[in-house]
């Protein structure tokens, strides 16, 4: 692997800013083990990947660095490789990720690798085959590990937020909230559309040598952009205030949970009866929990954990709903042995529906907020009064409380005694009744 003087490496202006914590981690690692993963540069020594590693080496006083030198035909190809490296390796805020998605789309379009709306993906107008065929949005989204809807929303965020507003958002509490960013992006949409049309008219007038019309259109562009910025600034302030309110509510909830945790009552291996509901404290992927389950459950609601061992659920319930936040959801669907039926997007949560029988996807638009709203929706959709519902992860007791309120019977469990205690105490507080320990 070639060794290159550090001061010969060229860093482009469009690089993402470095994160101090990540550089500090890398410094310690390089100091202890050396540079395990060389940086990547092109033949002119333009940096493609490894800014954090390069920065750490500079701070350690190294004068040369190991490089992987690649040969790209043009700047677009090099930048595409750089973007892909960032998308794969770095933990990005939604705004950063959205900007990279948009830029990647634009580069692929210039390279003829991005299918446009209305194009035949496989042939030119004369019938000649295209190899490789340009990729559609759904394919690009799956490559990125996100749903098409999330991918489209991300590009809308990157394209629609005024550049000055983007600078203000970066580093704030809403920079990591796609929902808040989308609200800002959609503010001032009419003004942005007006500015874009005026921009086209300005270029046309410039080309025709009509200076008076060009000046008139330039004025419209400036006024529309200023109004767009003003409306998006208001949306940003509103989103920040909403975020701060939610954070205060979460803080209050955490304080309440800390009080509950001090009253923890459950231990691993115990079973509890909460009137008609059964709660088990232990690993819900083990036979002990499975032996407690009814043979005819209507629904199982689970959250996707890092160690997923719950494929058995599809044999225990007619419908299994798996909840998770965005990101690489298709990987789970592809490698999972449960028969996948369809995906629902409820708020910011992705819900995979699995069943041994065919299920038709609901056609009406769904608008629910939060995990509790999603749980209520799923129970309403797939169960009836007195049906059994399995919840192999207690969470905050959402499924247990929803079953109590809606007249279903819940079989819940979790290997975390604190979560089990919290769920039981929440049920007792909600019903005014007492639980009963079995055995």
Burial of 141 (0-12, 13-18, 19+ CB in 10 A): buried
Q: Is pLDDT at 407 greater than 90 in this prediction?
A: yes
Pairing, β 277-281 against β 271-274: antiparallel
Could you tell me if 248 and 305 lie in one domain? no
Q: Which of 163-177, 310-324, 377-391 has the lowest mean pLDDT?
A: 163-177
Domain boundary (237, 262, 287) is at: 262
Residue 156 lies in a domain: no
Looking at residue 129, its pLDDT comes to 45
Which alpha helices (H) appear in 74-147, and where do they start and end?
Answer: 75-89, 94-110, 137-144
Q: Summarize pLDDT for 81-119 with one digit per residue, the tens.
A: 777 767 765 567 788 888 888 888 888 877 777 666 555
If DSSP codes are grouped into helix, strand and coil, which group holds residue 250? helix
For residue 120, pLDDT beyond 60: no
Residue 249 and residue 283 share a domain? no
- Per residue in 230-266, pLDDT (tens digit) is 999 999 999 999 888 888 888 877 766 565 554 546 7
Report, as an integer, the average pLDDT of 207-224: 93
Q: Is the pLDDT of residue 122 over 50?
A: no
Within this chain, do residues 344 and 275 fall inside the same structural domain, yes or no?
Answer: yes
pLDDT for the residue numbered 330: 62
CB 94 within 8 A of CB 175: yes
Are 359 and 433 in a shared domain? yes
Domain contains 80 = yes
Q: Average pLDDT of 30-34?
A: 87
Q: Which of 49-58, 64-73, 226-235, 357-366 has the highest mean pLDDT?
A: 226-235
Q: Phi first, then psi: what are they for 389, rounded to 5°? A: -130, 130
pLDDT at residue 144 greater than cutoff 70: no
Give me the half-sphere count of Cα atoms (radius 13 Å) on the Cβ side of residue 85: 18
Q: According to the model, what pLDDT value does residue 348 have?
A: 74
Please report the pLDDT score of residue 121 as a whole number. Answer: 47
Q: 87 Cβ partners below 8 Å, 6+ apart?
A: 97, 100, 101, 104, 144
In this structure, are 282 and 311 located in the same domain? Answer: yes
The average pLDDT across 325-332 equals: 63
Q: Which of 228, 262, 296 is the last residue of a domain?
A: 262
> The CATH number of the domain where 85 resides is what?
3.90.1530.10
- Mean pLDDT: which of 322-326, 356-360, 366-370 is highest? 356-360
Provide the domain limits for residue 197.
161-262
Is 136 part of any domain? no
Q: What is the mean pLDDT of the chain?
A: 84
Q: Averaging pLDDT over each range in 25-34, 210-219, 297-306, 343-352, which range is the top one? A: 210-219
- Which residues have C-beta within 8 Å of that of residue 361, sequence separation ≥ 6? 341, 342, 344, 353
Q: Among 107-111, 161-165, 283-287, whose mean pLDDT is lowest? A: 107-111
Position 130 scores a pLDDT of: 47
Average pLDDT over residues 60-66: 92
Query: Alpha-carbon Rg of the chain, whole angstroms?
Result: 27
Residue 416 binned pLDDT confidence (cut-offs 50, 70, 90): very high
Query: Are 307 and 410 in a shared domain?
Result: yes
Q: How many domains does the chain have?
A: 3
| Single pTM value for the model | 0.46
Are 201 and 345 members of one domain? no
Q: Which domain CATH number covers 358?
A: 3.40.50.150
> Do 255 and 275 belong to one domain?
no
Residues 275, 406: one domain? yes
CA distance 213 to 261: 70
284 & 357 share domain: yes
Are 254 and 275 in a shared domain?
Answer: no
Q: Which of 240, 262, 284 is the last residue of a domain?
A: 262
Q: Per-residue confidence at 280, pLDDT binned at 50, 70, 90?
A: very high
Could you tell me if 246 and 277 lie in one domain?
A: no
């Amino acid at each position: 692997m070639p060794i290159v003087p550090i001061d010969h490496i060229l860093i482009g202006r469009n690089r993402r800013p470095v994160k101090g914590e990540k550089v500090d981690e890398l410094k310690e690692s390089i100091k202890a083990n050396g540079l395990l993963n060389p940086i990547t540069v092109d033949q002119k020594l333009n940096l493609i990947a490894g800014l954090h590693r390069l920065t750490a080496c500079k701070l350690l006083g190294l004068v040369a660095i190991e490089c992987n030198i690649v040969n790209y035909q043009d700047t677009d190809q090099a930048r595409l490789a750089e973007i892909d490296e960032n998308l794969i390796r770095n933990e990005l805020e939604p705004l950063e990720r959205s900007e990279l998605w948009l830029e990647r789309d634009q580069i692929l379009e210039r390279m003829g690798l991005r299918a446009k709306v209305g194009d035949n993906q496989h042939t030119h107008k004369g019938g000649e085959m295209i190899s490789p065929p340009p990729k559609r949005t759904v394919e690009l989204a799956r490559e990125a590990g996100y749903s098409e809807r999330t991918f489209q929303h991300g590009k809308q965020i990157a394209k629609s937020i005024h550049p000055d507003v983007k600078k203000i958002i970066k580093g704030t509490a809403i920079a990591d909230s796609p929902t808040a960013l989308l609200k800002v992006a959609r503010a001032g949409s009419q003004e942005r559309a007006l500015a874009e049309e005026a921009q086209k008219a300005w270029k046309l007038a410039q080309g025709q040598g009509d200076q008076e019309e060009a000046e008139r259109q330039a004025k419209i562009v400036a006024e529309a952009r200023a109004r767009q910025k003003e409306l998006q600034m208001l949306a940003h302030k509103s989103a920040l205030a909403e975020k701060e309110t939610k954070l205060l509510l979460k803080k209050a909830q955490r304080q309440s949970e800390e009080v509950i945790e001090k009253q923890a009552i459950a231990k691993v291996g115990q079973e509890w009866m909460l009137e008609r509901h059964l709660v088990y404290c232990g690993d819900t992927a083990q036979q002990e929990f499975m032996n407690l389950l009814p043979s005819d459950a209507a629904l199982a609601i689970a959250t996707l954990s890092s160690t997923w061992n719950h494929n058995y659920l599809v044999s225990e319930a007619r419908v299994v709903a798996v909840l998770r936040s965005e990101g690489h959801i298709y990987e789970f669907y592809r490698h999972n042995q449960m028969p996948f039926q369809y995906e629902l997007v409820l708020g910011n949560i992705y819900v995979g529906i699995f069943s041994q029988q065919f299920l038709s996807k609901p056609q009406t638009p769904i608008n629910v907020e939060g995990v509790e709203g999603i749980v209520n929706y799923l129970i309403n959709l797939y169960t009836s009064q007195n049906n059994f519902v399995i919840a192999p992860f207690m969470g905050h007791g959402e499924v247990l409380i929803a079953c109590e309120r809606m007249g279903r019977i819940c079989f819940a469990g979790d290997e975390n005694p604190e979560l089990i205690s919290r769920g039981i105490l929440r049920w007792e507080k909600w019903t005014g009744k007492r639980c009963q320990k079995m055995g």
